[in-house]
Amino acid sequence: MMYFSFYNFIFLLNFIFTIAAFIPNGRWIHSSVLIDKKLYFKGGNKINNNSIEGLTNELFYLDISKPFTTTDNVSIPWIDLTYTGSPLKGEATACIGGKNNDIIFVFGGYSPLNQPFVNQFDTSKQQWSNIQSVGPRYRQDISCAKFSGGLIAIFSGLSDPDFINDLWIFDTLTFSWSLSNAANAPPQRFGYCAITLPDENILYIGGVKFTDLANISSYIPMNILPLYNTKSHIWTNMSISGPIPSIRTLFSAILTPDRRIIIFGGCTNGGALGDLWILDTVVFQWSIGKILNSVEGLVLCGHTATLVEIYIIVAFGSFINGSLSSKLFMLDVSQKDSYRWVNEFTTNVTFPSNTSISDFKIPSLTIGAITGCVIFLVILIITMLCYRTYKILKRKQLQKAIKNMSI
């Protein structure tokens, strides 16, 4: 009796201490989803060479029902849920679904432990389970997009060896997959961002083709924006005007209630980016986002970004110097013409009512954050991928890609 209660007591103490003291350390290539007042973070890599040994299975959330200061890490209300048995996966993407939109679905990614393509975490029961139904084959660096009635689209991704550009739809109510047969699918890509628009078309922005990572012309131009119509299952391109953002992968994108898509950071084969771009989907125009107070050194990739009230919460990622960020950065996006980095998160701050568009629903999608900024990191990723898939990958192709990279 005594024995049991002593250990129970220690366990409880340890449990409470862990919860109270949890401060996540730096990581990138994680994924993130918002459910109600909890911003969940899953996985990622804690080593910037993106190796298997750096993978983390951590699962935790930021309690956004409470105010905090981003510069004071002790004030940030983190809650660790890793003890729930979170699976180990790298470069996965996560979206929410289920009848009550309270289930996190983690798609794709690599794992030393042969994880299934989909894992699900029921946030109400705090329980993980695997989904074994037959669907897409192995791929990573996807950006899942949730749309009507609990459906989630998975497009292309980094795979082997023939770099497919297929689009699959997962039903989060029945756990079944279907493959889209739509003609004119855009070329394969990874490290892109998918955004579900209020009309339920899915917009695909940026990314890069795997086959020729060193080649600038294998990046997807930012003015070619494929749209997948989830009702008619037809691919079109969005026509847009304005200046064109530089090519990039591994960036973040969010949609505001007044239909601005805001993209931040990422990287190209020329290095990392800290710029902000706005795609106004009311007038179909790109413009440069004007930041009133730029933060020195704020150049990130492999981060995640989530719209919470009027803020974009930019979390973790890799700085340009290769160190991994353990920080949160918060951008006030309430004004259309100017953007401001802020440190204080205050709850219940909403967009000015004139900016809201009544039929708008914030899609609960977040980009699965992805990988490397600096060329040498990208090379390491390829090397690592090659190690995983060397049986199938044509060695010659890789060597050629690496040789063509100018460091």
Ligand X SMILES: *[C@@H]1O[C@H](CO)[C@@H](O)[C@H](O)[C@H]1NC(C)=O
Chain residues binding ligand X by CB under 6 A are: 23, 25, 47, 49, 51, 53, 73, 184, 212, 215, 217-218, 224, 235-237, 297, 319, 321, 323, 326, 404
Minimum CB–partner distance for residue 217 and ligand X (Å): 4
Minimum CB–partner distance for residue 327 and ligand X (Å): 8
Kindly tell me which of 131 and 328 has the beta carbon lying closer to ligand X.
328
Kindly tell me which of 84 and 218 has the beta carbon lying closer to ligand X.
218
Kindly tell me which of 234 and 342 has the beta carbon lying closer to ligand X.
234
Minimum CB–partner distance for residue 138 and ligand X (Å): 20
In the bound state, the residue with its beta carbon closest to ligand X is: 297
Kindly tell me which of 163 and 235 has the beta carbon lying closer to ligand X.
235
Kindly tell me which of 224 and 362 has the beta carbon lying closer to ligand X.
224
Q: Which two tokens stand for residue 309?
A: 């009230």
Minimum CB–partner distance for residue 53 and ligand X (Å): 6
Kindly tell me which of 1 and 183 has the beta carbon lying closer to ligand X.
183
Kindly tell me which of 172 and 325 has the beta carbon lying closer to ligand X.
325
Minimum CB–partner distance for residue 117 and ligand X (Å): 24
- Among residues 117, 48, 114, 177, which one has the least CA distance to residue 106? 117
Minimum CB–partner distance for residue 284 and ligand X (Å): 14
Minimum CB–partner distance for residue 21 and ligand X (Å): 9
